[in-house]
Chain A
Amino acid sequence: MTNRDPADFDTSLEGRDPRDGDWGLCRSSYEKDSCGFGLIASLDDHASHWVLQTAISSLNRLTHRGAIAADGKTGDGCGLLIKQPTAFLRAVAKESGLTLAPLFAAGIVFLNRDTAKAGRARRVLTEQLQHEKLKVAGFRMMPLDPGACGSEALKTLPVIEQVFVNAGGDLDEATFNRKLYLARRRTEKSLEGDDPIFYIPSLSASTIVYKGMVMPQFLAQFYPDLKDPRLEASVVVFHQRFSTNTMPQWRLAHPYRYLAHNGEINTVQGNRSWAVARGPLFRSPVLPDLSDILPVVSLTGSDSQSLDNMLELLLVGGLDPMHAMRLLVPPAWQSVDMIDPDLKAFYEYYATHMEPWDGPAGIVLTDGRYAVCTLDRNGLRPARWVITQNRHITIASEAGVWDYLPEEVVKKGKLGPGEMLALDLQTSELMDTKRVDDLLKSRHPYKAWLKKGVRYLQTDLIDPRLAAEPFDRDTLAVFQKMYNVSAEERDDIIRVLAEDESEAVGSMGDDTPMPVLSRKVRSLYDYFRQQFAQVTNPPIDSLREGIVMSLQTQIGVEANIFVPAQAHAEQIVLSSPVLSQRKLRQIVALADSGVPNEFIDLQYDEQVDLKTSLTKICDQAEAAVRNGTIVLLLSDRYLVKGKVPVHALLATGAVHHRLVKTGLRCKCNILVETGTARDAHHFACLIGYGATAVYPYLAYQTLFDLMRKGALKMEAAMRQELGRSYRRGIRKGLFKIMSKMGISTIASYRSAQLFEIVGLGNEVVNLCFEGSDSRIQGADFKDLKIDADYLAQRAWDRSENVEQGGLLKYMHNGEYHMYNPDVIATLQSAVMTGDYQQYREFAALVNERPVSCIRDLLKLKSQAAAVPIDEVEPISAILKRFDSAGMSLGALSPEAHEALAIAMNRLGARSNSGEGGEDPVRYGTEKNSKIKQVASGRFGVTPEYLINAEVLQIKIAQGAKPGEGGQLPGHKVNDMIARLRFARPGVGLISPPPHHDIYSIEDLAQLIFDLKQVNPKALVSVKLVAEPGVGTVAAGVAKAYADLITISGYDGGTGASPLSSIKYAGTPWELGLAETHQTLRANELRHRVRLQTDGGLKTGLDVIKAALIGAESFGFGTAPMVALGCKYLRICHLNNCATGVATQHNVLRSKYFIGLPDMVINYFKFVAQECREIMASLGVRSLTELIGRTELLEILPGETSKQRKLDLSPVLANSALLSSKPQYCIDPHNEPYDKGVLAEKMLGDMQEAIAAKLGGQFSYAVHNYNRSIGARISGEIAKHWGNAGMSAAPLVVSLKGSVGQSFGVWNAGGLHLHLEGEANDYVGKGMAGGKIVLKPHTDSSFTARDTIIMGNTCLYGATGGELYAAGTTGERFAVRNSGALAVVEGAGDHCCEYMTGGVVCVLGRTGVNFGAGFTGGFAYVLDMERDFVDRYNHDLIDIHRVSPEGMGTHVQHLRGLIEQHVAATDSVWGARLLNDFRSYIGRFWVVKPKAAEINSLLENLRRAA
């Protein structure tokens, strides 16, 4: 969200209708959406009513991708965008007595139900159209049937009318549309803020949009026009929405005026900000003056809407849709080696003028002439197409959205990452990606322009001048003190960056106060919390999927995108925004050759207040740019005694915003030369608030000094490249930070302000960081000045030492740590002795600590007389609400993991397995974890694992490192861990940052459905991390039918994570929990889900406060671990935990682990007892009475100047309007809308065969809405017979048709699924055994081996079983496969990613990035084109040609696989290979981890079996 009126954030919004969205901590701007989408077009532009009908029925079959409101009928919106049905419109206009010109436009208008407002809107629109010399033919009352709407939708149903506009004279269609655009835009502007209902879904001579807040099945009922057979279209774009929020918003239904979008524009904040900045640059020859319609891009509302706005501007400005989309959502090109140079030049040219609007995005659009579908560079949304014999093409999120007969199919396919499919309705040409690219790249001599214009800064292999003028020791100390570099930061952060070329890794959580609460001077950067993707969009794996990432940065003046010219290519290109000294000097030196720069000193006299200094800095910058300066160099490099530097981040943000406001931003570039930037987060902040590039001189000087002192552990030769290795480390960190938000390029990250500020007041935010969330206020300029003055005073005082530190680890006189040695020691002594008095000492240390958390500023306030303690509910009732937080076996030793499980079970509470699987011998015993976690690595997630759980927790994010995956270092992977995780001993394990089956909210709904199918009794829980908007995400999760939601705070722990993630991401749970509780209540969802919080909970008081803020369940991670003997050593990642808790080392575990279940039992009983005492004092008898009762909390004034400026009232906001709404969960289960009818029928048919282990044969017809087929059976098999199940007596199931998502998910041994037809995404996900066979229908005429037969992310996390498919697969086939055997005939990008076991045989072409992160198992790949070498990821694997000599066993094995494949699928291609095996054998590669011996592959396989 950007550019909301800051006044909105001033205070709690009490008194407002919470249903507005903006209330407490909720903001309507946090709303996210996602969906199913599609497009049907006649290849010959032949309009028919059939197309319309088919689109509507297809939409209906994507209902499961949408969400339904509490009333059971109001959908989140759906709609159609169709090519203008001219004849029909003429007919209905005539019926309404309107006369239409030969060229006319028909629009749909949403009007306010207030007739005066509606009248005004009509009048303004009419006037604006007249102003463009267009005539309104008249308004037609749209025929509507409100009976199609649910009660929620009816509350806000607008008046819907159709407006007809005649083009006068000899206007052509394009000019006419342009005039319509200007008129509409001006109308919108003049009604803005006055009439929130008014909205024009479309007003065009080429297309028309029908959309509304209805479920797809009711769309045609709602708009009776759609049922009129005269309404004929040749192209229809359709869309079904799943919004995280339920607040009816008619205007936000898709499609927009040109496009419908599935996914999310991750980069939208930056894109919007740049759209504003570029406003003055948009000048098209055909669209001369835009000044009165700025901003062209909506700054609120949905991301898709903003993208549609931008697209619309490009189209009316004269670009065609393919051109516009390629530059808005380009494929990955910077890091792709094999790209055509002309094409690269095309992208590079436009990259200087437009940053990518990156997805995840699947986009379908039409302007009436072209129908286009495109995917973003990551290809995270599915798009399947089919061409049928009736000469129509259907593209949709799923295959099989309408029932074409197998023999009608001419051709099928899917879109891959960065691909585009475009149909020119005029010429009937269907263009694929290459054709489109060829067209675009040849329009102008881009390459020649770039060659002339672009200056690439020289990069010597070695830049020896880390610091050309090294500081002497004293000067360095002054700088280090001035910029608060501690010895700790120097040694543990900066040094590691240079030594390891990557960020330092640590463990445990952040137990220090947020800077605004701290009594220490903290870095300004610490106030900024990185935002991260969760649920509604995925993070990216910047390491394994590095091909999409880029830090390429340009310096130069931006020009008008509509006027391609050589002059616009005059740019300086840098490979990264982290400057070396040499590069900075080169840039500065360019002043002589036409790139003028201005040096802006950030230091001001110590008497001058910060605001004045910043204003002066901005004035200087503005004046310089007005005078033609291209490069602004903000510098705090030349310290002068008596002056105090303004923090570079304040200055960067302030200058950026000033330049945007004055329309100058795109004429210059902001370089920052600062001592404040040392770690990747610092760079991210500076770039995120507008810096083009940063020169971190103090980091270099500090490194230089370390080198001078001989403190660096590196080879002498490496020392020469110190700066380079440091920059590599920073670059990696920047990639990680960007990828956390799912952003691929630095251009899209720049100025996107993707941070939540915790603890800065409006005064600071408004001047420097406008548009960023800072929801609880905090420090003002005065406070920041006091800090700066303090540092300056120390800096120049030569007797003051450089600070030792204490931010990362406890240090006397350093930052306060909530798990300090006193706390640890008293807790351990209490639980070992079982002495409640000692627990009280511990609790007093915690409850009375100096203010460190938000809750420490909230005090209990009794409103009733105390009750005797024996009237309060017993300890046992409270214990049921306690869970241990997910800590994996692997991170923990088995002894600790089991002790925890035993303790929780004995208490009647629940332990959480974490993401490392669990030994089956523990199932059914008191060592069983009742909560089983499903995380992105899917380690050991089998049907048997899932069935042995009461709660299945999907870990979306982890408090210590939200937006990132886990890592288990290789030395912790011993034989046992490897067995449970289906991996190789000694090899480090990676959990990907995203769940590869959750890129979007409807994907999460699908995973929840998968889990409920396999274990219908289990509650499904979703673990989220607090950040702004988590409440709306949670609302979406509730609508996706989760039963439990956990909100974790930033202070959660981890077994291993980069330190910068532990420190800089996630916000306090108090904020996240309050926002979630408020949002769920406002959306009538609170009664459907249980709400849990975790993060640093230690005492009964913590529990009570969490309950008052809205939680009914409580998670504990670190505290029970400490009870078991953990001393908070922060060395979990090193496997040397001296307490034996977090290590797999035999000696440490067996000799030094002292933990007993009783210690944990004591701890939780103490906590519960303390809860009871507090409840008694508050006069309540059960915890239930406390949930959400924020009136029982009072806000303390705070102890420091900064604390006193906080405004915590939004955390406690409550609204009288919600008083009747439930405060806690009431429903026992959150039942999905989809009852899985076919699955239940199948189970009914097979139940007896399973119980008796008899096997049998069954057959069914399937459709795309039959989802998770097989899971229900597998769960039942696993319940009776475990994973291996019924292998001896299989259930053989024959299926026909296009089956829905998750076919064969969690497949158990003995379930054989034979599908004739096609499947969608997630086939065989989590398969543990059995067999899945896919083959095309026998009547199909297409070539199977060229045709896609299953979607994306198939075999994800499979641990066993076999899969044969006579066709190709989508992206990420066999991702995280750890045991399944598969034969397919072709695969998309990223095949075999993170694979740790099993065998994959691809009998055809694979996409790029094959085998990234591949550490176990092996693959065979047939390489007919001889280009596989360019398509696999070289990091961890190598390839060997299969040859009969010396590889006989492999030849035999491969042949056997193909034989099995042919036997299972009747594959024509397989048969041909076998027929002529000797000719093909040399075209096969064996792909294996570099670490594995080729001769041992088969042996390992046999052993695993």
Chain B
Amino acid sequence: MADNHLQFLDIPRKDPDKRAVEVRSKEFREIYSQYSAEQAGQQAGRCIACGNPFCEWKCPVHNYIPNWLNLVKDGKLFEAAELSHQTNSLPEMCGRICPQDRLCEGACTLNDGIGAVSIGAIEKYITDEAFKQGWKPDMSNVVRTLKRVAVVGAGPAGLACADVLVRNGVTPVVFDRYSKIGGLLTFGIPPFKLEKEVVEKRREIMEGMGVEFRLSVDVGRDVGFDELLREFDAVFLGMGTYTYVKGGFAGEDLPGVHEALPYLISNINRELRIENEASRFVDMRGKRVVVLGGGDTGMDCNRTAVRQGASSVTCTYRRDEDNMPGSRRDYKNSKEEGVTFLFNKQPIEIVGTDRVQGVKMVETRLGPPGPRGRRIPEVVPGTEETIDADAVIIAFGFLPSPADWFAQQQIALHANGRVRVSAAPQQRFQTTNPKVFAGGDMVRGSDLVVTAVFEGREAAQGILRHLGVRARAQA
């Protein structure tokens, strides 16, 4: 029974099997299979339990990674699930969609040539498998209070906040304008990365814990914010960012030019069979598609287009390969699935008369670092060329989309539209309206799911202290 301290050498890193390209690029199903218990144990056993767990340090929610890896190694699945949930409200989702190569696995000590522990796959395995075997978060110790909190937005921030609240005896009521929970998890992320049954399962679990969802309710329209403030002891806002970044070049309004998120949502609506109007569905079948932007959203568009049967998909990005922000894994999968990447290309115009015909691009090279430390691309003169396209998807990211009633509710914003919150330990994520807390993309700007989870959880702690459910904060 002795541990093999050299397991990380004896057994190489092995990700769960991927479906073959031919199969997967035609369907909207997750491409990775699940580890068997034995595989999971073996892979988890590769962890060397560093004195400095770089994985945990790099993880935005600081998951107790070495500890649950150890439990998986020992076959203690339920304990692993319990522990995994101590720091993360949506581990099965993060395990699927986190860019682990830039976070935990990128920081893993073994990533220096030996092969990082497959943390993401194991994280996913833990919760999936535990759910399958009937595990549920243990709520038996929760002492119910009479406090109720409204959570606006059923995205990662809102769900995380609701999870922490309900575990502390506070009843969360989650409002969302969509008919399903998950926000971007459901509507933004294509099912080949995250099947929607996973989100549904989470809903079932959370409802079982005592979370109430009020869906298809648009706060501010279907229900007044004042009403929420009256009815609830506090409000959490986790409304995300939905304003698309524009390219600012000519031809953006041409037919055949699509914004990324509506494109993705339309596809998912069809997949989920909850489409309201079939006409909103954007079909790329047989088209030459150009995706502008190299972030995660761009990757999702690429691969959605591939699956819809596009005749070609080309992704352009204005910096070089190394500087591309999207997950390496998605990049690799995109390439496997046939996407062509063009680096150091900046669009300057979308060409076409009545509909899109091509994208005019210039070449770029990397200049000196800008104020945020990243090098700014410079245009190389005389390099214009046009790429033919039947459809263009713009995936330049998102800007905050503050609701018009914020000002009226004394919810102050930063100049760029992000919601202002307190950083003091006692009032974490409290907005300028003391009864209102906020977190996630609307507070920090468009970012990862896992950071939204973190902020939702932290905001919940702020709310608990605000409500007097938690008194402490050791200093």
Q: Which residues of A contact B (CB under 8 A)?
A: 474, 487, 508, 519-521, 709, 711, 713, 790, 793-794, 798-799, 801, 804, 808-813, 817, 819-822, 824-825, 1127-1131, 1134-1136, 1138-1139, 1145, 1147-1148, 1151-1152, 1154, 1200
Contact = CB atoms under 8 A, between A and B. Distances in A.
A729 B471 CA distance: 40
A508 B471 CA distance: 37
A486 to B, nearest CB: 11
A471 to B, nearest CB: 15
A1151 B52 CA distance: 22
A793 B471 CA distance: 9
Nearest to A713: B1
B48 A824 contact: no
B76 A1138 contact: no
21 contacts: A519-B474, A790-B472, A793-B471, A799-B141, A804-B86, A808-B51, A810-B53, A810-B57, A813-B62, A820-B52, A821-B107, A825-B54, A1129-B51, A1129-B52, A1129-B109, A1134-B5, A1136-B9, A1139-B112, A1145-B6, A1148-B9, A1152-B112
Contacts of A822: 57
A519 B51 contact: no
Contacts of A811: 53, 56, 64
Nearest to B76: A711
B50 A1129 contact: yes
A474 B141 contact: yes
Nearest to B70: A491
B149 to A, nearest CB: 15
A1356 to B, nearest CB: 34
Given A821-B107, A1138-B112, A1139-B109, A798 B143 contact: yes
A1199 B81 CA distance: 38
A809 B53 contact: yes
A92 to B, nearest CB: 73
A400 B52 CA distance: 59
Contacts of B114: 1138, 1152
A370 B8 CA distance: 71
A1127 B50 contact: yes
Interface centre among A519, A821, A1148 (most CB of B within 10 A): A821
Contact of B51 (A508, A801, A1139, A1152): A508
Contacts of A798: 141-143
A808 B53 CA distance: 12
A812 B57 contact: yes
A817 B51 CA distance: 10
B376 interface: no
Nearest to A1135: B5
Interface string B438-475: 00000000000000000000000000000000011011
A508 B143 CA distance: 43
Contacts of A794: 472
B379 interface: no
B109 A1200 contact: no
* Top 5 A-B residue pairs of the complex, sorted by shortest distance between their CB atoms: A1130-B51, A812-B62, A821-B57, A1136-B5, A798-B141
A1131 B51 contact: yes
B254 interface: no
Contact of A819 (B9, B52, B472): B52
B49 interface: yes
B98 to A, nearest CB: 16
B375 to A, nearest CB: 17
Contacts of B79: 709
Given A711-B76, A799-B167, A1127-B54, 8 more contacts: A798-B142, A799-B141, A801-B86, A809-B51, A810-B52, A810-B56, A1128-B51, A1138-B109
Contact of B474 (A508, A521, A1152): A521
B105 to A, nearest CB: 14
A1127 B48 contact: no
A399 to B, nearest CB: 52
A519 B79 CA distance: 29
Contacts of B64: 804, 811
Given A810-B57, A1139-B112, A790 B141 contact: no
Contacts of A1200: 475
A733 to B, nearest CB: 22
Interface string B11-49: 000000000000000000000000000000000000011
Contacts of A801: 86
Interface centre among B8, B109, B113, B168 (most CB of A within 10 A): B109
A835 to B, nearest CB: 14
B271 interface: no
B300 to A, nearest CB: 30
B200 interface: no
Nearest to A817: B52
B219 interface: no
A1149 to B, nearest CB: 12
Interface size class of B (residues with CB under 8 A): 35 or more
A1280 to B, nearest CB: 46
A1145 B86 CA distance: 37
A133 to B, nearest CB: 70
Contacts of A711: 74, 76
A1131 B50 contact: yes
B314 interface: no
A790 B474 contact: yes
Contacts of B107: 821
A80 B474 CA distance: 64
Contacts of A508: 51
A1131 B143 contact: no
A699 B143 CA distance: 28
Contacts of A1145: 6
A804 B113 contact: no
Contacts of A820: 52, 57
B40 to A, nearest CB: 18
B110 interface: yes
Interface centre among A474, A813, A1131, A1151 (most CB of B within 10 A): A1131
A1138 B51 contact: no
Contacts of A810: 51-53, 56-57
B293 interface: no
B67 interface: yes
Nearest to B59: A812
Interface in B71-99: 74, 76, 79, 86
A1123 B5 CA distance: 24
A794 B113 CA distance: 43
A520 B474 CA distance: 7
Contact of B113 (A519, A790, A825, A1152): A1152
Contact of A1151 (B48, B49, B74, B113): B113
A1152 B6 CA distance: 14
B169 interface: yes
Nearest to A521: B474
A1138 B48 contact: yes
Contacts of B56: 810-812
Contacts of B142: 798-799
A1127 B108 CA distance: 11
A811 B110 CA distance: 18
Contacts of A819: 52
Nearest to A1201: B475
Contacts of A799: 141-143, 167-169
A708 to B, nearest CB: 13
A365 B412 CA distance: 88
Contacts of A1129: 48, 50-52, 109
B389 to A, nearest CB: 41
B5 A487 contact: no
Interface centre among A799, A820, A1127 (most CB of B within 10 A): A799
A1128 B52 contact: yes
Contacts of A824: 52
Given A798-B142, A1128-B52, A487 B475 contact: no
Nearest to A971: B5
Interface centre among B62, B64, B79, B141 (most CB of A within 10 A): B141
Contacts of A520: 474
